[in-house]
Amino acid sequence: MLHTARAVAILLALSVAGITAAFLSLVDGVSSLGVLVSFLVAGAATYLLSFITLEFFIFREINHIHEVLHKLKKKDLSFLQEASAKDTRNPLRRINQEIFNFAGLKQREIEELKRMADFRREFLADVSHELKTPIFAAQGYIYTLLDGAADDEAVRTRFLQKAANSLDGLDVLVQDLLMLSQLETKQIRMYYSYFNLAELIRAVFDQMEGKAESQGIALRLPADFPEQLWVWADKQRIQQVITNLTSNAIKYSNDSPEGGGWVEAQVREEGDRIRVLIKDNGRGIPAEHLNRIFERFYRVEKSRAKVSGGTGLGLAIVKHILEAHKSQIDVQSEVGKGSVFSFRLKKRKDKRSRSQQTELAE
Ligand SMILES: Nc1ncnc2c1ncn2[C@@H]1O[C@H](COP(=O)(O)OP(=O)(O)OP(=O)(O)O)[C@@H](O)[C@H]1O
Ligand SMILES: [Mg+2]
């Protein structure tokens, strides 16, 4: 580009110097030395001016466009920050920046679309796989019955029960999926109210007592567990969060090495928040899985979880509900020792009047 600028500048300089010298030679009284000097001065001045203008204002910008196009081809978007940071009065450079920004934006959109397409493909594969399992199981029992097993009354009842269980599992899966997609697209609103969190935790524990007992797990509350603890949240959704966490703690506790598994709920005041902790002494979660268990369909041990009937959606739902409460789920876990899942909720402000207690938030 430097050569092009120089060549154009030399051509312009020669033309301007030639024309100037030609005019001067027509004027009476101008010596040939004067004509030569004016030829040289006009040529040098024109050369310098045109070279600087072409090189710094035009060719350099065109060079820049080439560089950016090259980077775009290589999917290197680092130039975006550089371009937007520069504030210039040069109109050509401003136009360039606009073009760069636009091209970069489009490139990012393309990347995002590709990422979404991959995500959709993966999600579809996971959903079909999860749906297939209970459908195949129910189908198997029903066809066996149709093939003659229905004649034996004991077999009939057992197989029908198994088919019904598979379809119940399918129902839970579809409900969970529906809820997750509604939470993600923000179609589910949180209906905030003040409620007694201590009472809610006791109710969930009462409800799950039977399931825990059948697996030899003790559900317990500390001796100083409060009677009243008012928080500001969507009661139904928080009940679901506590239920999912407790159900996991029970489910993944049953092969606790010490036997005598337990699940404990604790509450702690942290400023204007209440922290709820669900602890267990179960198998624990290896560190490398800890930040992935909140992804949908993610299970630590696929085959083992399959026996317990989990689909890997519970924690994804928990995470979304808490995010909608502008809170988050935290986890600490040690393999063979147990896990602690915890989250925080807004405490009730005492000054607030009872009439304001229930309102639609957001
Ligand atoms: N308390 C826990 N102790 C040990 N592992 C856990 C615990 N909670 C969750 N996990 C691990 O995290 C994974 C994801 O949990 P999540 O609740 O999302 O799915 P799930 O329990 O397998 O299925 P679902 O809840 O949809 O029925 C589980 O499969 C399990 O491997
Ligand atoms: Mg679960």
Q: What is the pLDDT of residues 42-84, one digit of tens each?
A: 999 999 999 888 887 788 778 877 887 787 777 776 666 655 5
- Closest C-alpha among 210, 268, 200 to residue 237: 200
Residue 361, pLDDT > 70, answer no
Higher pLDDT, 88 or 286: 286
Is 300 a pocket residue for ligand 1 (Cβ < 6 Å)?
yes
Residue 356, pLDDT > 50, answer no
pLDDT of residue 238: 97
pLDDT of residue 254: 60
Q: What is the pLDDT of residues 94-149, one digit of tens each?
A: 777 787 788 888 888 999 999 999 988 988 998 998 899 899 999 999 999 999 88
Mean pLDDT of 331-351: 89
Q: What is the pLDDT of residues 256-294, one digit of tens each?
A: 555 689 999 999 999 999 999 999 999 899 999 999 999
Is 5 a pocket residue for ligand 1 (Cβ < 6 Å)?
no
Is 313 a pocket residue for ligand 1 (Cβ < 6 Å)?
yes
pLDDT of residue 83: 55
pLDDT of residue 107: 83
Q: Confidence band (pLDDT; 50, 70, 90) for 360?
A: very low
What backbone phi and psi angles, to 5 degrees, belong to 294? -90, -5
Residue 1, pLDDT > 60, answer no
Is 311 a pocket residue for ligand 1 (Cβ < 6 Å)?
yes
Is 310 a pocket residue for ligand 1 (Cβ < 6 Å)?
yes
Q: Where are the chain's structural domains?
A: 2-108, 121-184, 193-356
What is the Å distance from ligand 2's center to 7 Cα? 74
Residue 346, pLDDT > 60, answer yes
Higher pLDDT, 254 or 164: 164
- Are 292 and 262 spatial neighbours (Cβ–Cβ below 8 Å)? no
Quick one: which ligand is closest to 300's CA? 1
Is 252 a pocket residue for ligand 1 (Cβ < 6 Å)?
yes
pLDDT of residue 354: 47
Across 104-118, 186-200, 344-358, least confident range? 344-358
Atom of ligand 1 lying closest to residue 282 CA = 3
Quick one: which ligand is closest to 339's CA? 1
Atom of ligand 1 lying closest to residue 299 CA = 29
Atom of ligand 1 lying closest to residue 284 CA = 4
Mean pLDDT of 200-220: 94
What letter does residue 56 receive in the DSSP assignment?
A: I
What is the Å distance from ligand 1's center to 311 Cα? 8
Higher pLDDT, 253 or 39: 39
Could you write out the DSSP letters of every residue in 113-150? HHHHHHHHHHHHHHHHHHHHHHHHHHHHHHHHHHTTGG
Residue type, 230: W
Across 64-78, 206-220, 221-235, 257-271, least confident range? 64-78
Is 130 a pocket residue for ligand 1 (Cβ < 6 Å)?
no
Residue 352, pLDDT > 60, answer no
pLDDT of residue 259: 66
Question: What are 358's two structure tokens?
Answer: 């229930």
What is the Å distance from ligand 2's center to 336 Cα? 18
Range 193-356: architecture per CATH: 2-Layer Sandwich (3.30)
Is 249 a pocket residue for ligand 1 (Cβ < 6 Å)?
yes
What is the Å distance from ligand 1's center to 231 Cα? 26
Is 265 a pocket residue for ligand 1 (Cβ < 6 Å)?
no
Is 250 a pocket residue for ligand 1 (Cβ < 6 Å)?
no
**Protein residue with its CA nearest to atom 1 in ligand 1:** 249
Q: Which of 183, 251, 255 to mutate to test the pocket of ligand 1 (most atoms within 8 A of CB)?
A: 251
Residues with Cβ within 8 Å of 96's Cβ and at least 6 positions away in sequence, in order, are 61, 64, 65, 68, 83
Across 163-167, 277-281, 289-293, 306-310, least confident range? 306-310
Query: If you compute the radius of gyration of the chain from its CA atoms, what whole number of angstroms results?
Result: 37
Residues 252-284 as b/e (b if ≥16 CB within 10 A, e otherwise) read bbbebeeeebbbbbbbeeeeeebebbbbbbbbb
- Closest C-alpha among 141, 163, 164, 145 to residue 153: 145
Pick the CATH number of 121-184 from 1.10.150.120, 3.30.750.24, 3.40.50.1970, 1.10.287.130: 1.10.287.130
pLDDT of residue 80: 63
Q: What percent of the chain has pLDDT over 70?
A: 88
pLDDT of residue 355: 43
Q: What is the pLDDT of residues 6-49, one digit of tens each?
A: 888 899 999 999 999 999 888 888 888 888 999 999 999 999 99
pLDDT of residue 350: 59
Is 285 a pocket residue for ligand 1 (Cβ < 6 Å)?
yes
Quick one: which ligand is closest to 301's CA? 1
